[in-house]
Amino acid sequence: MTLEDLVRLRRARDVMDRDYAQPLNVPALASVALMSPGHFSRSFRAAYGETPYSYLMTRRVERAKALLRRGDMSVTDVCFAVGCTSLGSFSTRFTELVGESPSVYRARRHDAGAAIPACVAKIFTRPVRNGGAETGVAS
């Protein structure tokens, strides 16, 4: 993979990070990266270790966790606020990444991490597959 390809993939990843609540799909993201959809998907997975869809859903779940911790929105409202169109798919992916359903996550107390700066908390609360965190600490 060339440096130019990595720059293009980063551009598409930045779009997912910034516009996670928008209806994004592989063809749209591939056009941002100036690649065909198939080449984009393969290259993205090779560069980042997950599919574009998986990366986007992780961003959406990460944002959903923040909204659910506030406690002033229903799970359904959070689902749509982060760009998901199916409550069932959102709940399934949330549970897969976080280890508990959005309703259970919303209902439990979250004040233990209130004194932790957001930039540090983000590292430990980032949802990843199998319920672990990138740092090896369970979220």
| 63 and 109 assigned to the same domain | yes
pLDDT in tens, the chain (139 residues): 899 999 999 999 999 999 999 999 999 999 999 999 999 999 999 999 999 999 999 999 999 999 999 889 999 999 999 999 999 999 999 999 999 999 999 998 876 655 556 666 666 666 666 544 444 444 3
Q: For residues 73 and 11, is the Cβ–Cβ distance under 8 A?
A: no
Q: Look at the chain and report how many structural domains it folds into.
A: 2
- In this structure, is residue 81 part of a structural domain? yes
- In this structure, is residue 40 part of a structural domain? yes
- In this structure, is residue 105 part of a structural domain? yes
| 62 and 124 assigned to the same domain | yes
Q: Domain span at residue 115?
A: 58-131
Q: What is the pTM of this model?
A: 0.78
- In this structure, is residue 137 part of a structural domain? no
Domain end: 13, 28, 49, which one?
A: 49
- In this structure, is residue 138 part of a structural domain? no
